[in-house]
Structure 1
Amino acid sequence: MEIRQTFARNLRRMRQAKGLSQEELAYKAEIDRTYVSSLERAVYSPTIEVVDKLAKALGTDAAELLKQFSQ
């Protein structure tokens, strides 16, 4: 699986596990909601700074957003 798809899957899974909407996550991470949506659909690749902001907003490490889990 491509890293962008892995990130997208992990981002959505972690956001939903925290019970956050895309808008709430975007607010906490100080990024645009439409960007969160695009990241979850693997339309864009995030910068390392954005990965860090999202990880902090989700209360996790950036590495967890990039980790591949077996299916």
Structure 2
Amino acid sequence: MSEFTSEECTDPAGHRLHICQLRKEGRDEEVAALMADPGHTCLNCNAVAKHAKNLCNPSPFSRA
């Protein structure tokens, strides 16, 4: 997989905190904690997270 580009990540400076990067680093426990009680999904990789700041291209979703 190629390195991300600014078009793929809306916050390149914060990419080190994004779920895709944490997965790449094998930080599975952190990933699991960030994915608990999700309210956002990444439009790039479909990962879910509680906070938008942990996704490259976040979009909120309703939990209804």
TM-score greater than 0.5 by the shorter chain: no
**As a proportion of its length, which structure holds more helix?**
1
- Per the normalisation by structure 2, the TM-score is 0.31
Q: TM-score, normalised by structure 1?
A: 0.29
More strand by share: 2
- Using CA pairs below 8 Å that are at least 6 residues apart, which structure has the higher relative contact order? 1
